[in-house]
Each structure stands twice: as structure tokens, then as C-alpha cells.
Structure 1
Amino acid sequence: MTAPRLILVLGDQLSHDLSVLREGVKSRDIVVMAEVRDEGTYVPHHAKKIALILAAMRHFAAELKDDGWTVAYTPLDDPDNTHAISKELLRRAEEYDAESVVSTASGEWRLRSLLEHTPIPVSQLPDDRFLCSEGDFAAWAKDRDTLTMEYFYREMRRRHDILMDGDKPEGGQWNYDKENRKPAEPDLFMPEPLHHQHDEVVAEVLDLVAREFPETFGTLRPFWFAATRAGAEAARDWFMTEALPRFGDYQDAMLAGEDFLYHSILSPYLNIGLLDPLDLCRRAETEYREGRAPLNCVEGYIRQILGWREFIRGVYFLEGPDYAERNALNATRDLPWFYWSGETKMACMAHAIGQTRDEAYAHHIQRLMVTGNFALLAGLDPQQVAEWYLAVYADAFEWVEAPNVIGMALHADAGVFATKPYAASGAYINRMSDYCKTCHYSVSKKTGEGCCPFNPLYWDFLLRHRERFEKNRRVSRSYATWDKMDADKQEAYRDSAAAILAKLDAGEAI
């Protein structure tokens, strides 16, 4: 009789059509799943993120058992738990007399390397839940001077026949981004995402996380994420009906007191495998075809999944294991303590960080143009910033987090795919949000006491990196504006930026 193999399933691989499960043999192989402390503590993960993954793992293991698999599952508080994936594989191999392990390749170089160096042989199969393989992306990227998401996105639309009219884009345009930058106004009828009720599994996990990770970041309760495939599908259906029809219009907007607006809040489920990306795209397209959602909203949503999500993953694996360590702008300032506490007089930062602490969620503009923008302007160390993003969001795994932070927000990769640094003064935040109305600082005040910190820091950033960016066609106009300023105004900007940065370095509140 052929010896059993161990089938390793990780916490972000909770899909029944996972390549390693398709390749396995139920009557012979043993599925190994383990809640190990190593994975819960390599960064200080948000309490809600830990709870979501552990609860979803437990439900998925039960589904596998119901489907006929033998599952060797190790809870976090199991006395025999070794708290490391490699050690759990060795323990289970001895228990079941297995000589090899097969897994679906992890979404992090860190784990791929760990499994390559595990004493028991581990074969890693491609993760074909994504819509563009690593090899296909590398072939697309080959010989290109720059990696432009828009061109990749068009190719993906054609390949998967999404929002196409023959060989042309539906509606005659590939991109409706210009229609999707409206500021939002408070609305009593703004939808609220589904709040899922706890079952016994979730309740046990919440108690476990509270007990085992008492010092970790973030508010654990109330906890309303879905932990089952059925719950994730209900959240998907809610979004398609209730929020997609207005998603595009306000996808870049920010409102105090409105943490979610018309966003789907599906990325945590998508990134741990409870939802399928192509299914989401096709369902969104159906909403347009059936006249229930406008084209700009549907195209904007599909672009986030079929375009940006697939593109970002392609960049991560194309660029290699050192990508997350890059620091092209030589930014070395330590991450300020208020990124963890939210205790800052900057209203936009306080709202984005406070929401992140409470919900393990903030939408893409809050991440890019508020917390990311401040990190860029202040010259914060990219690795410290990347660790923060990886820790605090329920949907954060390194394949998606590293390119978005290192490449998009901080330009620390020297522009692998971002054609400019996403630096902005307070005017952008004021245009896209209502945060500035209640801020301690005045967004209209450019320099001096009480000025919006983003204003002088914007110019300080450009001046620090003038040699690198002044010939960039998307940034050069800003340098021309600076050069037209009188000397006193320039000095005021420099002095104001220096005062703000000195406070940061001294650990003072800003």
C-alpha cells in the first residue's frame, strides 16, 4: 500500500478547489492544518485578523471532514502544538508514517523558503486560484520598459471576456476612473455591511484570541466578519445588491463616521480563499448586464480585482524575495507611535488609524493617500511601515501588501510600476473627505503654527528628492511652481517642515 502523504493547507488557502486538494487522494492522504503561534506573531497582527483566520480555518476543516478527508488539525491551545509549521509537519509525519508533504505554494516568499528547508520533503504546487499565473505575468512583463497596470488590465479583460463587446471594451472605454472620484456627503440611507452573528466556533476563537494574544493590536470585539463560505457568499450578495450600484462614484471618498461607504469589505474573504475572484467579476458584470448597476461602478470594481489585485501579485513574485526590503529613497525615520495609538491631532490620520484599530479595515484611499502619504512625506522607514500595514489589516498578506506599500505608497522600489510618487498636500484630502472640517490644523494654512502638516511636508519631500523627480513629467510642474515662489515663502515651508519633523523625531504628538 502506498504511504500516505501530508497535504498542508494554510490559513489563506481555504478553498475547496485548491490545487493540492484536487491532486490529493481522500482515501490515502492526510490534510494538515495548524494554528501555530509563529504565524500569529511574526508581526503584531490585528486581533480581528487572527480571529477571522482561526475561525475560518476551523470551519473549513469541518467542511473537509464532512467531504471525506482525514484532517489532522492542531488548535492553538493544544498541549502538543509545536507552534511552528515545519515542526507540525514533522510531528504529523511521524504520527501517520508519512514520508512527504504536498502543498499549494504560499503567497509569501517567507513561507515558501521555510517549506523548501523543512526536513521532510515538501512539493509546492502552483496556486491557480488567481487569474494570472506567475509564469504568465512574467511573460507579459518581459521586455517592457515599465509595468503599467492599465495595459495588463486590458489584457485580462480580453483573456477572461469580462465587460467586452466583441473585441472592444463595453461602452467604448476601458476605464471610467474619471467618473469615480466624487466626494461623498453624509447619507442616512448609506448601506451598512452585513454583521454576521457568532456561532460556537467563533465564540470559542474570540475567547482564545483574547486569552492568547492579550497585547496584540486592535479591538477584538465587536466581531462581525463572516467565518464560513456561506457567510462570505451572503456578504458578496449583499454588496452586489446594496452597494455596487454606487460603489464607483464614491470609491475614493472619505467621510468621518462612515467607515465603509459603498465598499464591498470582501477582500478579507477573497484573500483567505472563501470567495473566488472570477466569480466576483462575473457577478458584478451580470449586475450591469441586467441593468441593476451602472457601467462606471461595475468597471471600477472589476478593475480592482481583475486588474489591480492580479497585477500586484504578479509584481510581487516577479521582483523576488528582496522586494519587501527595498528603500530607494533612503527613508530612515522610525514609525511614529501614533500609527499604533491613533493619538494625533491630524483628523485624517486619527480617523484612518482609529478605524483601522477598531475594524481591521480601511479602504484604499485611506491607506494610500492618508497613512501612506504621510509616511512618504515624512520619510518613514519602508520596512517599519510595511510591517504596520501587514499587521493591522484583516486582508493583508505579503503578496498584496508589499507592492502596495513598498511600490505604490512609498515609491521605495524606485518606480517598478508607479510612474510617480503618490505625494499630496492637504488639499487632496480636503477635496476627497470631510476630515479637515474638524481638524486641529487648518488645511488652508500653508506654513507656520497651526498649518496642516501635509502642506509643508509635501514641499519638503519634493525638495529632498529633487534630483530624482524633477524630470518626471507628472511631477515637474510642482518644481516649476516651487521655483516661482519668493524666497521668504520657500523658507517658511522649509522651516515649518523642519519643525514638524523635529517633533516626530522627539516622539511628540503631532
Structure 2
Amino acid sequence: MKTRWIFGNQLCHQLPLLNEADKQNDVILMVEAKSRSLWQSYHKQKLVLIFSGMRHFAEELEEKGFTVDYRKAESFTEAWESHRERYHPDEVHVTTVTDHRMKRALKKWENNLNGEVAVHYHSEKPLFLLSEEEAVDRLKGEGPWKQDAFYRRLRKERDILMEDGNPVGGRWSFDQDNRKPADEDTAFVKPRTFRPDDITKQVIKEVERDFGDNPGNLDAFPWPVTRKEALKKLNQFIDERLPTFGTYQDAMLLDDPFMSHSLLSSSINIGFLNPEEVIEKAEAAYAAGEAPLNAVEGFIRQILGWREYMRAVYVKKMPGYASVNELGHEAELPAFFYTGKPKMKCMEQAIRPVIDVGYGHHIQRLMIIGNFSNLFGISPQAVSDWFNEMYVDAYDWVVLPNVLGMALYADGGLLSTKPYVSSGSYIKKMSNYCKHCEFNVKHQTEDDACPFNAMYWDFLDRHADKLQDNPRMKLIYSQWQKREEEKKKEIKKKAASLKQQLTKGTLEA
């Protein structure tokens, strides 16, 4: 008899492991392992999403005629031993996992079998467009690499937004068209949400009972927990929200954390949707004249480009990548990352939705939270742990490259050509947050000065030895070097004061 073991982020009906299954003789094993849920203090929304998704998936498999052994246990090992005692499998089939910690745990489990049960690994497609081998093959040498080359190659190979061998519209990227701030009265179609059914309601009760001290709340739970729901969310995004996604994808508005963002990453990363079908639907919308090219290309680049690229870097560089800290940042994470009550309006707006529903869009993650963390010198491992715990779409393979590499430059430029840091002027340009903030974005060293301003220049000064020769940063360093020494001292004094305030908790509301 064969056991086919499916994990909580592999909830895909198109898995090769399932396509090859014999419904009459094979058993599907699924395990809710409490010990796995305790690896980190995960957001309650994330736990509900995974547990409810797993239970719905098991129910769907049974409706299709599969035999499913669904177990709740303290550990994967405990569940496996009970399963083995009942079914006596001589083979176990597993879909390749990407996360290094899970890969290591599986290897330990396999070694403990002592060859008594054969273990077979299946392709992770269609969870990803590329297999691990294909992804790593595209990253030659030890880096640094550029996402653009990775993205262009995939576009060509898969003939996506291509015409006679050239990119549709004559450009590979329309990113320059996707940086428009939104006016306060700009209206966006609200994303589709779903009312929890009986399974999800039961999971919510159990999570509140068993993980009541975990961060986040469950006052609302908006996430799809089945493929059927995820498809509805995808279709609504393509039909109603994609047209305005591109132009405003870097914009931020007060009390509107969703705007035109797809909110599909949790469904893709858990397996409800596969990246290929999402890309195809977006491309079809452009072909039908239902969405502009800048929106479609920008959206596809997030999946075809960044998602596959980040996963490739992760597989290539782990396990050492988890400990990178090129800039030597060691400060502790402020308490307001969990309370959602910083004095800075932009930070409050970026963190509050994460606490409420486990979500924030990519500019909030990169240019608010990541930017703040870099400027204040917070430990990159503390930041990546927080991201891994708090976001519903977070898994090690996507968090570490995005946070350590792209947001924090902790890898020294392995996948990003410069740090994504800025003063408050960027936030003012791309949002209306500053209008509602007690700090003055135009001030640098006054008592009410926006903390991002002095901290930005202080960051550049602290890391001049590593960054001043970067071609993309020479202009800004020339501006810093032209400043009077007295003004530099004043800015650095203000930055030191802000760091003390952060440590003492006085930057919390």
C-alpha cells in the first residue's frame, strides 16, 4: 500500500502526487501537527487559514473518492507512527517541499525509517512554474543576480506578453507607469470576502482556545479556504480590480490597506491557485481589452518575476542565507510591531492591517516597515521572524529573500542593487499618511520632525563605507557630503535621540 502525504501549503488538486494516485489502494495522509504550529508564534489568521484549508481539502478529496487519513497530533512523528500502525504502507510519496526547516525535518524522518519504507519525492509543479533544479540553474555562480534577466528569460520561454519575439508594447517593464499616488477621493472596488462556514467557525474556536496568546485577532476572517473561493476571488480581481492595480500599485491611502491589490498571494502560496493559471487569466484580460498593459505586466511580473526569483535565491543560498546581516544591525523589534500603536501614522497604517487580518501590501512592507527597520538598525532576523509569523501569505522561502535581501539589504546586494531606504519625502509623495501624522514631514531635526528624515541621513552616514561607491547611490552621497559639518552633527544627534526614544518605548502611542 502507498501513502501519499500532503502538507498544509500543498493544497492543490493538480499535484502529480495526486494525479498518479490509485483511489482503490492508496491512502492520503494529512496532519495537523501542533508542534509545527509552535515553531513560531504565528498569527491567528494564518493558523485558521491553514487548518481550515486543510480540512476543506481533505473533505474535497473524500468527495472525489480518495481515502484520507486526517490526523491531529502533537507532532508529525506521532501522526506518522499511528498512520503506519494502521495502514502498514511500504511506500510514502511526498511532494518536494521548499522551506528548509521542513526539508530538514523530512530528511530526519526519512533517515529514521531505516529503509523499511521507500520514500518517493514528486515534482512541486504546479505550485511553482519552475522545479527547484530549473530555478537554481538560472542563477549562475554565487551572485549577485538581477531579477530583470530572470524575468525576461521566463517571459520568452513561456511566450507571455510576447509578440514576434519581442515584449508586447515594446518594453519589458512598465514599472515607471505604476508609481502614481492616489487622491484621497480615489475609489477602489472592494475585494471579495467570504463568510466562514461551519468548518472555519470550528477552527476559529480551536485556535482561540489553543493559541489564544498568539498575535493578531479573529474579529474578521476574509481569506479563501478552498479553491472554489480562491477562484471567485481571482475572477473578481481580474474583472473589477486589475484595471486600476497597475497605476496605483505603489500608492498608499489612509485606512485603505487593500486598494486594488489582488490579495491572492495567500491562495497561491497555499496551493489553491497555481501561478500559471493566474498569469493566464491576467494575460487574457489584456488580450480582451479589459485591463491596460501596465496593470497586467506589473501584476504578472510579481508572480512570474519576483515570486519565482525569490524562491530560486532561497533554494540556492540556504541554509546560510537565514543568518545574513551585512549591515550589522542588532536592535530589538519595538513593541508596537505587535500592538499596532506607533506614533508615526505611516507605521500605524502599515502594521494595523497586519494585526487585524495578517496582510499589508508590498509598498507598506518594503517602504514603510522595511525602511523603518533598516533606518533604526533593527536585527534583520528579528524582522524576518516577525514577517514569517504575522502575514497569512508568509513562508520561509518567500520571506527570507524578500525581507533579508530586498527590504533590508542584509545580504549585501545579492539580489537587490541598492537598499530600499528613503526619507519621509517618499512617504509624503506616495500617500496621504503625512497629513494625519503628529510629525512634520518637512522638518529634519525639530522636536516634531518626521523620524524618517534624520534616520535616513544617519543610515547613509553609518554605512558610507559599504554604500557610497554604489553607482545608484553616488548622487545622494554627494548631497550628504556637501552639507555643512555642523548640520551633519545636528542630524546625527537627532538620530541618536530617536534611537533612544525607540528603545525607551516613547515612539509608541
* TM range, smaller chain: over 0.9
Query: What is the CA-CA distance between 1:497 and the residue it aligns to?
Result: 0.3
Secondary structure, aligned partner of 1:117: helix
2:40 to 40, 43, 48: 43
Partner of 1:106: 97
- Secondary structure of 1:123's match? strand
Partners of 1:188 and 1:348 in 2: how far apart?
Answer: 19
2:274 corresponds to which residue? 276
Q: Percent identity?
A: 40
1:144-194 deviation line (CA, Å, top 9, x unaligned): 853111111111111111111020001111110000000012347421111
Matches within 5 A, 1:224-243: 224-243=222-241
The question of whether the paired residues in 2 share the 8 Å contact of 1:232 and 1:269 is answered with: yes
**Match for residue 72 of structure 1?**
69
List structure 1 runs of 4+ shifted beyond 4 angstroms: none
- Root-mean-square deviation (CA), in Å? 1.4
CA distance in 2, matches of 1:488, 1:308: 43
Q: Which moved more, 1:312-321 or 1:98-107?
A: 98-107
Q: Is the 8 A contact 1:107 1:397 kept in 2?
A: no
Spell out the pairing of 1:77-476 with structure 2 (5 A cutoff): 81=73, 83-118=74-109, 119-120=112-113, 122-129=119-126, 130-143=128-141, 146-187=144-185, 189-476=187-474
TM-score, normalising length from structure 1? 0.96
> Please, which moves more after superposition, 97-106 or 357-366?
97-106
Q: Could you tell me which residue of structure 2 aligns to residue 495 of structure 1? A: 493
Q: For 2:374 and 2:422, locate their aligned partners in 1 and report how far apart those are by CA, in whole Å.
A: 10
1:56 correspondence with 2:46 = no
Contact 1:6 1:93 in 2 (8 A): no
Q: Distance in 2 between matches of 1:132 and 1:147?
A: 17
Q: How does 1:473-488 map to 2 (within 5 A)?
A: 473-488=471-486
Report the alpha carbon displacement of residue 506 of structure 1 after superposing the two structures with TM.
2.8
Distance 1:326 1:22 in 2: 39
Task: State the AA in 1 paired with 2:172.
Answer: W
Once the two structures are TM-superposed, the CA of residue 504 in structure 1 deviates from its matched residue by 2.0
Q: Which is worse superposed, 157-166 or 175-184?
A: 157-166
Identify the residue that residue 78 of structure 1 maps to in structure 2: none
- 8 Å CA contact 2:143, 2:414 repeated in 1: no
What's the CA shift for 1:285? 0.7
Secondary structure of the equivalent of 1:55?
helix
How far has the Cα of 1:499 moved from its partner? 0.3
Aligned partner of 2:30 in structure 1 is: 33
Tell me which amino acid in the other structure corresponds to 1:496. K
Q: What number of residue pairs does the alignment pair up?
A: 501
Q: Single out whichever of 431-440 and 34-43 deviates more from structure 2.
A: 34-43
Alpha-carbon deviation of 1:25? 2.6
Shift of 1:415: 1.1
Q: Is the 8 A contact 1:333 1:379 kept in 2?
A: yes
CA contact (8 A) 1:5 1:28 kept: yes
1:105 partner letter: T
Q: Judge conservation of contact 2:144–2:415 (CA < 8 Å) in 1.
A: yes
Report the Cα distance in structure 1 between the residues aligned to 2:488 and 2:502, rounded to whole angstroms: 21
Q: Which runs of 5+ in 1 are unaligned?
A: 76-80
In the alignment, structure 2 segments of 5+ residues that lack a partner are: none
**Residues of 2 paired with 1:446 and 1:489: CA distance?**
10
CA–CA separation in structure 1 for the residues paired with 2:276 and 2:38:
32
Question: What do the CA deviations read for 1:410-469 (whole angstroms, capped 9, x no partner)?
Answer: 111111111001111111111111111111111100113111111111111111111111
Distance in 1 of aligned mates of 2:477 and 2:212? 49
